[in-house]
Amino acid sequence: MTRFAAPIAEQIWDMKYRLKEADGTAIDQSVEDTWSRIAKSLASVEKDPAKWEPKFYAALEDFKYLPAGRITAGAGTDRSVTLFNCFVMGTIPDTMVGIFDGLKEAALTMQQGGGIGYDFSTIRPKGAIVKGVAADASGPLSFMDVWDAMCRTIMSAGSRRGAMMATMRCDHPDVEDFITAKSDPARLRMFNMSVLVTDPFMEAVKADSTWDLVWEGETVKTVQARDLWDQIMQSTYDYAEPGVIFIDRINATNNLNYCETIAATNPCGEQPLPPYGACLLGSINLARLVANPFEAKAEIDEDALGDLVATAVRMMDNVVDASNFPLDAQAQEAAAKRRIGLGVTGLADALLMVGLRYGSEEAAAQTEDWMQLIANASYRASAELAAEKGAFPLYDADKYSASPNVQALDAEVQALIAENGIRNALLTSVAPTGTISLYAGNVSSGIEPVFAYAYTRKVLQKDGTRTEEEVVDYAVKMWRDKMGDADLPDYFVNAQTLPAMDHVRMQAAAQKWVDSSISKTINVPEDISFDSFKEVYMEAWDTGCKGCTTYRPNDITGSVLSVEPAKSEDAAQAEEAVAEVVADQNAGDVIYMTEPLDRPEDLEGQTYKLKWPDSEHAIYITVNDIIHQGQRRPFEVFINSKNMEHFAWTVALTRMISAVFRRGGDVSFVVEELKAVFDPRGGAWIQGKYVPSILAAIGGVIEKHMVATGFLAGEGMGLKSDPQADVVAMAPKGKACSSCGQYTMRMVEGCMTCSDCGYSKCG
């Protein structure tokens, strides 16, 4: 009997979490081996590992406790990786040296796979005087462009895709430019962005009073607070960013406000962190803990939940000692405060199992009860750990006990903390769980509603073909298994039909018992009015949320995954006919191809020699073309060099670029992406022109070939005509997944996530 509840779960495990040799040979023969590996690793820091290893295994077994992906993939592997999910970097000094020292630290952190957050409010505004050099400052957004390029470079060099969060205070003079930065579809694509909104600003918005934008105590500009708020709202309505972080509320309720000030969060927003702050994440799978699901006596066993939480807290505390860190400052910060972020997943499924409609007042009340139980169990377990292993080093009994989070706990838990201290400064957080939720059998993510009861997923086979399989929500499958063909009850709701205010109600209910924050996306329909959209954010503020992130389909980021009824045979034939007519009318233009073209026996091409300064061996780039519907277009690329240091990435680049070319469409973006990559070690001057990296030089060669063959009109000019102008019927919806190429990206918990392969922008 397999432990996996769905085929997709086993595929995700094999693809992301199963330990393998470098050549792909499996070391973990089963998911039980994965659980054993994690349990043994986290028990190794205990005085009595033999006692705790089986207890840790029992918590992991059957996906009851789900450590975050970094722990699941990295624990016990003897590989130099960090088990922490997210970091906020140090405060950026307002000096050129300080800024680029910060860039270096970010690159080192991202190289080990950590998502990072930065507050750019500390950099002087555009146009401010730079003393000593007789120049005006270029402003924080110009340096964000540098960070963005660095993130692309790290990604291009073969590491996992980078994730970054940029924040800026609502009183910074450049905040208006920050708000609208994402209106440019090519700019700052590696960043999530959020405005740090203060309590005085929200009071000014409600009062419709003025608001000063200041730098170093001097007012640079005065605006109407409501106008600035509307700018934020309009930008996120149009482009899904920036998000809003209620920063004063975060600092006021922080257990550590006596020894730290927070000005940034991790990329998905659930972890507000101080400079060099780091946090590890894990989730209790509520869907696995419901006894007698879909029956009148359905409930979560509270004693079992409490025991599981206590074990999970101990496991996560051990990660602090078992993990590597990219920077010493991060290790010191983690050791001083021992912050952890225990959350939940499968909440929506658990609510369905006990007969409650997600978003209803009853469901919100039940959510609040479950989260209160988890909060008390977490703090109790950490206080008991403190008696055994000691409190976190920066613990101050009087100041810590004054925290609103601590004062809300049960009296016996507060007494235990007063007696023992506490091992972990903060304990709870609700993180994005998209991939680990799939791994656990496609349970609902985090505290999100069920996105869709079922959808069709295309699975890439080893021979290159794709098969289709139905992916069914965990609770829906359980209902089918139990009730057969009976219709789903009325309380089964999903993200397609849920009112926005129901989302806010659920986030606010959970936030009452989460000491950090919550990663949640409020999906709203494309036709929501602007006034109704603004009400969502004001409701989030009024009900105690620490931030708000919405997602409305738009032209920049595309649509979320759509769940559409099957087409009739007549409709399908009509659509094919339209596509054929469009293709006939546009012979000679660039055509979007629904499937890759087969390779002909012979192709015409050109080989180019690229000599990079200080490199012993040249790189040879061959671009072969195909004639398709009367136009010559690039079909494949081969990149070769005798320098074996280049072997892996040149082979990868060869395969990826060729795969893109064979799909057709506007492939000029390949040139744009390559030419945008810069090497932090420095570029080179080639033929009187500065080229920022080898990858950029390769992009320039491919562009040169495209111009020579007539595919591009000239350097930097893009396509000769808009290929989508006359082929609307064949254009896909939204953005393609950068991992598998399918058009099934959807916004979940602040992350664009692929439902086909499980890839997430945020890891």
Higher pLDDT, 596 or 369: 369
Higher pLDDT, 662 or 196: 196
The DSSP code for 13 is I
Given a cut of 70, is residue 339 above it in pLDDT? Answer: yes
In a domain, 652, yes or no: yes
DSSP β-ladder status, 164-169 and 115-119: parallel
Helices 302-322 and 49-60 cross at an angle (nearest 10°) of 120
Predicted local distance difference test score (pLDDT) of residue 125: 95
Predicted local distance difference test score (pLDDT) of residue 148: 87
Identify whether residues 125 and 77 lie together within a single domain: no
In a domain, 268, yes or no: no
Question: Does residue 266 have an active-site annotation?
Answer: yes
91: phi then psi, degrees, rounded to nearest 5: -60, 130
Choose the catalytic residue: 53, 270, 448, 636: 270
In a domain, 97, yes or no: no
What is the band of 597 on the pLDDT scale with cuts at 50, 70, 90? low
Distance between CA atoms of residues 675 and 671, nearest Å: 6
In a domain, 396, yes or no: yes
- Type of residue found at 472: V
- Type of residue found at 16: K
Q: What percent of the chain has pLDDT over 70?
A: 84
Given a cut of 90, is residue 150 above it in pLDDT? Answer: no
State which residues form the domain around 671.
572-730
Predicted local distance difference test score (pLDDT) of residue 568: 42
Question: Does residue 643 have an active-site annotation?
Answer: no
Choose the catalytic residue: 268, 548, 737, 757: 268
Q: What CATH number should be reported for the domain holding residue 7?
A: 3.20.70.20
Predicted local distance difference test score (pLDDT) of residue 585: 34
What is the band of 661 on the pLDDT scale with cuts at 50, 70, 90? confident
Tokens of 157: 């060099």
Predicted local distance difference test score (pLDDT) of residue 506: 97
Given a cut of 50, is residue 613 above it in pLDDT? Answer: yes
pLDDT tens readout for residues 115-142:
899 999 999 999 988 876 667 888 999 9
Predicted local distance difference test score (pLDDT) of residue 235: 95
Identify whether residues 227 and 332 lie together within a single domain: no
In a domain, 270, yes or no: no
Compute the mean pLDDT over every residue in the chain, rounded to the nearest whole number.
85
Highest mean pLDDT among 439-448, 572-581, 649-658: 439-448
Distance between CA atoms of residues 358 and 544, nearest Å: 19
Identify whether residues 326 and 242 lie together within a single domain: no
Predicted local distance difference test score (pLDDT) of residue 289: 96
Nearest alpha-carbon partner for 276 in 330, 334, 347: 330
Identify whether residues 190 and 301 lie together within a single domain: no
Do residues 763 and 113 lie in contact, with contact meaning Cβ atoms separated by under 8 Å?
yes
In a domain, 620, yes or no: yes
Predicted local distance difference test score (pLDDT) of residue 155: 57
Identify whether residues 297 and 444 lie together within a single domain: yes
pLDDT tens readout for residues 392-425:
999 999 999 999 999 999 999 999 999 999 999 9
Identify whether residues 247 and 313 lie together within a single domain: no
Identify whether residues 120 and 219 lie together within a single domain: yes
In a domain, 535, yes or no: no
Predicted local distance difference test score (pLDDT) of residue 293: 96
Nearest alpha-carbon partner for 714 in 671, 684, 755, 752: 671
Omega of the bond leading into 393 within 30 degrees of 0 (cis): no
Do residues 464 and 365 lie in contact, with contact meaning Cβ atoms separated by under 8 Å?
no
pLDDT tens readout for residues 514-567:
999 999 999 898 899 999 999 999 999 999 999 999 988 866 655 544 444 444
Helices (H), 646-693: 647-663, 668-675
- What global pTM score does this model have? 0.77
Q: Would the CA dihedral through 370, 376, 377, 378 be positive or negative?
A: positive
Distance between CA atoms of residues 656 and 677, nearest Å: 16
Distance between CA atoms of residues 744 and 742, nearest Å: 6
Predicted local distance difference test score (pLDDT) of residue 157: 41
Predicted local distance difference test score (pLDDT) of residue 351: 98
Helices 49-60 and 31-43 cross at an angle (nearest 10°) of 140
Do residues 361 and 505 lie in contact, with contact meaning Cβ atoms separated by under 8 Å?
yes
pLDDT tens readout for residues 231-275:
999 999 998 899 999 999 999 999 999 999 999 999 999 999 999
Identify whether residues 248 and 360 lie together within a single domain: no
pLDDT tens readout for residues 183-201:
887 788 889 999 999 999 9
Do residues 451 and 561 lie in contact, with contact meaning Cβ atoms separated by under 8 Å?
yes
In a domain, 334, yes or no: yes
Identify whether residues 24 and 152 lie together within a single domain: no
- The stretch 159-183 carries a mean pLDDT of 88
pLDDT tens readout for residues 681-726:
667 777 777 788 888 889 989 998 988 888 887 776 654 333 333 3
Identify whether residues 108 and 67 lie together within a single domain: no
Predicted local distance difference test score (pLDDT) of residue 733: 46
- Residue 14's Cβ-side half-sphere holds a number of Cα atoms within 13 Å equal to 11
Given a cut of 50, is residue 81 above it in pLDDT? Answer: yes
- The 8 Å CB, 24+ separation contacts for 753-757 are 753/434, 753/435, 755/455, 755/457, 755/471, 755/561, 756/457, 756/458, 756/459, 757/15, 757/460
Identify whether residues 150 and 232 lie together within a single domain: yes
Identify whether residues 382 and 514 lie together within a single domain: yes
User: How many residues are there in the chain?
Assistant: 763
Distance between CA atoms of residues 459 and 480, nearest Å: 24
Predicted local distance difference test score (pLDDT) of residue 578: 32
The last residue of a domain, from among 520, 536, 560: 520
Q: How many CB atoms lie within 10 A of CB 601?
A: 4
Q: What percent of the chain has pLDDT over 90?
A: 56
Predicted local distance difference test score (pLDDT) of residue 586: 33
How many domains are contained in the chain? 3
Distance between CA atoms of residues 38 and 631, nearest Å: 55
Question: Does residue 384 have an active-site annotation?
Answer: no
Choose the catalytic residue: 85, 192, 254, 266: 266
Binning the chain into helix, strand and coil, the percentages to the nearest 5 are 40, 20, 40
- 78-82, 206-210, 588-592: the lowest-pLDDT one: 588-592
